Structure 1
Amino acid sequence: MGLSWDDLAAASLARQFPDDPGTVAERVRAIGDLQTQTARSAFIGLGARFPGVTHAEITAAYDAGEIVRGSTIRGTVHTATPEAYTVLAEATRVGQHQRWARVLGISDAQIADLWVSIEDYAREWRTPDELRAHVDAWLARHAPASLDAAAAGPGRYLGFAHGALVRRPASGDRWEGQGKPVYGTFDRTGPVTLADVVRLHLRAHGPSSRQDVAWWAGVPLKAVEEGLAGLDVVEQDGPDGRAYVDLPDAPPPRDLPGVRLLPEFDAVLCGYDSKARDRFATSEHHRRLWNESNGMLLPPLLVDGRITGFWRAAGTARRRPLEITWFARTRRPRKAELDEPVAALESALGITVTEVALSREAT
């Protein structure tokens, strides 16, 4: 008998909403990684999963290097433990080397040499402008015809988007802000393989199709197959005609009653192929949440383990209102259910919610 979307959701919820293991680093380790190009997403995501975790605790974990943040898989920004970040860096190397070589019109060997040069240069914290200047100087010596490509489009991000650097706020302690970052070389915790990449995904997000793993990691299906060949996995048919694989020691599925306020780019969506996210959201709701023109996602509202709306707490003030919108023909969140998720948001972001407004959106 095959898996239904509900089966897949319950299995994923067991990994993304586990029992509380203790410290911030242990919590991040348990859920695998958080997509955090919106810097506050790490704070909101941890608060939604572990109500009561504080802004100060998360900040301290970043400051101590117990969790790290940088540009890795798919060129996006992720937060993870150093061990998981090492795996993400390997996925980035596999998925991005040839892409960057094509962008610049140089060989894969040259891009590897350039990345080593960037890592050597970033042994001290560097600004994006300093990294761009270093890349330009390297190209001027080794591939001057590529200078124009490095100055436009994705080439502008080459200096810090290859998985071997981590970033921190240049201003010091505002890890949840979108202020200017500085970048430093990440010291990997050890060698990893493609099997480790697939294992990390399945442990955090499974069961998954091969397309899910490839999309999440930003690697070709051939690399996913190579990783699976090094793992002991179980396989079942899924509701969309794809085969779904999982680790044999996966935790039992769980329900998730109640309301959670999730961050932009949360794993319940971004852990999976963008064409097959039905385990948590209908296609109609997914289109409403995801702006394909700019790649931005509205922060999802999770009700009883399904995404049924979105929320906003706009601005950067320490005191701000909260607006929650639920989609028509979904369950309306009860006001009494909002006390815990609002308190979790306040604790994790270090803010005070001055009022809560509920509204329905027709879809």
Structure 2
Amino acid sequence: MAAQASLRDRRMIGRLRLASQRLAGDRAGSVPELVRWMTAMQAQDLQAALWAVGVRVPGAGLADVRAAIDAGTVVRSWPMRGTLHLVAPEDLGWMLELTAERLTRSIAGRHRQLEITWADVEKARDIALEHIAADGPVSRADLFRVLDAAGQPTQGQRGIHLLGSLCRHGWLVLGPLAGNQQLVAAFDEWIPVSRRLGREEAMAQFLLRYLRSHGPATLRDFAWWTQLPLTEVHAAFENVRHELVELECGGTSYWLSPEVAALQDSGLPGARSVHLLPGFDEFVLGYTERSAVLAPEHSDLIVPGGNGVFKKTVVAAGKVVGTWALEGTGPRAAVVPELFDGAATLGPAAQAALTTAARRYTRFLAS
């Protein structure tokens, strides 16, 4: 049965999320294990996504994350919100079946502007699959050249919308890496085993896994994260609430796994932790309401001008305390933090943890 308790201190939300997101406490043993646990990880910025995985897997290097993508044990596609995410390959099919129709309706107006009809999508599908069957996975640029030559223009965002549609409907998927780009592959060839779930089961599993990997979180957070209807989310919640713990804070119900909730009594990790997280990381971006970990007055410093581009963040004890950048290249590369309230924000222990985190990042890039 679900348990209920009051959150003793709202500042603990961030530390509980560190544990849920495998940034503190129990850690993932491999790259595929971590991505499967996280359910989906924002990945429109590929380099940021590689580090979002690496920072959560002790000892993982850049080559390990790239190898998982090349092996197809982690895949990148548009499973929700019209945004690229990393997911486990066996999950992508049912995620797309759950979210694709609603997203297709939401961008119908843009497709009319781009003069993309369903017949165009089907024609682009046939052209792409025929080309890939003959030559194997193809770069985006080469695929667009093939489409252009066959009478499907790709200029002015038409190409990316066609590609997104073909991926969203499960015909194509981003496959192996070629440098800092990904080749486009046929879905059924790249993901030979992809589970199919009924809508009710898929909704329940999606919600449960999100709350376990991102909690404490609200049902509204999940509805925003997936862009699925809140009424349907509430219905799915009744099927999984017995597997979760409710924490009440300020009149709001947050939900999380029993294992992480129990850390309030047994010892919550992360009190002296400092993490250097990439832009677009799930710790910040995975929720519609972020004030528990990011002071509202600092929001513009993370997303300047509200332009949708999230900067890299310094997170100390579950709270965003600044941004950071990498200056220089190779052995001389150095992490340069910019703390919101100056160097006094971090005490000696946290400063030492920041130095350790910076070394971890540079080792990740080199391995």
TM-score range, shorter chain: 0.7 to 0.9
Residue identity in the other structure for 1:184: A
Determine if the alignment matches structure 1 residue 264 to structure 2 residue 286.
no
1:43 and 1:349 in contact (8 A); partners too:
no
Q: How does 1:1-363 map to 2 (within 5 A)?
A: 2-3=6-7, 5-17=10-22, 18-105=25-112, 114=121, 118=125, 121-122=128-129, 124=132, 125-128=137-140, 152=156, 156-160=160-164, 162-163=167-168, 164=170, 165-168=172-175, 172=178, 174=179, 177=180, 179=181, 181-186=182-187, 187=191, 189-192=194-197, 193-233=202-242, 234=244, 236=246, 238-239=248-249, 241-246=251-256, 252-253=262-263, 254-256=268-270, 257-273=272-288, 276-314=289-327, 319-328=332-341, 331-332=345-346, 334=348, 335-350=351-366
Q: Distance in 1 between matches of 2:241 and 2:277?
A: 32
Deviations 1:310-336 (A, max 9, x none): 110157656423211111176226443
The code of the aligned residue for 1:221 comes to L
State the identity %: 25
Distance 1:222 1:116 in 2: 36
Q: Distance in 2 between matches of 1:304 and 1:246?
A: 19
CA 1:241–1:166: 2 relative to 1, 3 Å: farther
Mark the CA change 1:197 to 1:92 in structure 2 (over 3 Å): closer, same or farther. Answer: same
Q: What secondary structure does 1:297 align onto?
A: coil
CA contact (8 A) 2:315 2:321 kept: yes
TM-score computed with the length of structure 1 as normaliser: 0.77
Cα RMSD for the two superposed structures: 3.5
SS at match of 1:5: coil
Aligned residues: 332
- CA distance in structure 1 between the partners assigned to 2:335 and 2:16 by the alignment: 31
Following TM superposition, the consecutive aligned residue runs of length 4 or more in structure 1 with deviations greater than 6 angstroms are 133-140
Quick check: 1:280–1:306 contact (8 Å CA) kept in 2? yes
Deviation readout 1:11-54 (Å, 9 max, x if unpaired)? 32221125234222112223333212111223322332234211
CA displacement, residues 47-89 of structure 1 (integer Å, 9 cap, x when unaligned): 3223421122212211111111123321211112213434543
Secondary structure in structure 2 of the residue aligned to 1:71:
strand
Rounded Cα–Cα distance in structure 2 between residues aligned with 1:23 and 1:213? 26
Check conservation: 1:12, 1:206, Cα contact below 8 A: yes
| Structure 2 stretches lacking a partner, 5+ long | none
Q: Measure, in 1, the Cα distance between the counterparts of 2:305 and 2:345.
A: 26
The verdict on how the C-alpha distance between 1:304 and 1:76 changes in structure 2, with shifts beyond 3 A counting, is same
Gap regions ≥5 residues in structure 1: 141-146, 352-363
Cα offsets for 1:282-334 (capped at 9, x unmatched): 11122210135431011010112211001101576564232111111762264
CA contact (8 A) 1:95 1:217 kept: no
TM-score by length of structure 2 reads 0.76
In structure 1, C-alpha distance between the alignment counterparts of 2:123 and 2:233, rounded to whole Å? 25
Say which SS state the counterpart of residue 296 (structure 1) adopts. Answer: coil
Cα pair 1:69 1:168 within 8 Å, conserved: yes
Other structure's SS at 1:324 match = strand
Query: Cα–Cα, structure 1 residues 85 and 41, in superposed 2: closer, same or farther, change >3 Å?
Result: farther
Q: Secondary structure of 2:280's partner?
A: coil
Q: Displacement, 1:263?
A: 0.8
Aligned to 1:355: none
